[in-house]
Structure 1
């Protein structure tokens, strides 16, 4: 990547160009990289087990994102650096998401092709109830939202680190707007900063002494009696031919004090898949 290529991309109408720098990182783990670079609000960490026994080749560390899309019902909010920059009402949020994606014209460079596993984009979740946007016959939800989560939440991920578990390398990927003044110099300074951060020790979350929760502290959104009633009703629906499969969801919750990453580490140890 060089200044000329960025300028050429800008002239062709692209407003994002993935700038990539690869370094050797065979003494690191995906988790240590996340601790050094990614940990923060609206960051993410993707890794996987293949076949139940082997780590997937690539692990993805998403650095904190500044632009967030939140969708609740027909209300769509776009935030940038914690400030609301757009708020609209739309019956079809999926159409808005497609329109939002179309704002980004991303160049397909030789460097980005080498890391076609992932170079950024929209990352987040589509909640179970988002099926109502597609299957309108389902109708609106009447259930109360007790935990206050959006139906859809998406982050605009423009800085990622791709860790190659096979080769022991990592690639810093930052998506640059080539039309900005000094775009190339700024991208190189940012890459220098991220590379320097890798030389710092990882700040491990502090373990808490003793058990952090007790089984008796767990609360359920269904009592045992109500759960059994729900199962009986589902069986009646199946016999009547109204449904063929139903998931009776049960949410269990417990107060937790500590670093959430420790919960992930424990789950990762118990069930790596």
Structure 2
């Protein structure tokens, strides 16, 4: 409930299983299928929100002029095109929207929209398999990036970065990337965040980006905890 107020996002969810609870407010679509049309919406390139409208606009302009952020975003748009191309009709994949800004409570992102038409021999599950893991949480080339992640990250990601959403009886589906989440397991609560690493990344900046992304979830946990006292 706190997340819904402090960080309203396109995907708000709460899931409870036998050994895990998950709450989240994800801004990013993994893949959507509606009446045979596929969409994926890469979010890559981040700045914190400004404390005033003027600072917010300055940060937006700074983000859209940053060569590192633009190169990273363009790479992930291309990866999204390739992913959808695996299950789309030949020639149907196109970029409908390129490098817009989307704002959330703590951060803003560069956003694009990639569209394709699902092949007749594929279904919603094929589409999920084609795009998972998301390029924005893995990298390019995707297979090698996933190998490096497996070698270098000390713990498994678990539900973080997975697919959360629905498939209906008409064949449509809408799933988001499992980011901006908190999950409770074995008596502990975990909040995870990440940043895209490229050749000219500055480590301190990437670490601060992780803190900015986790901020809304951490704030919600703090407020909820105070309300339970």
Q: TM-score when scaled to structure 1?
A: 0.41
Instruction: Give the TM-score taking structure 2 as reference length.
Output: 0.47
Q: Which has the higher strand share?
A: 2
Structure with bigger gyration radius:
1
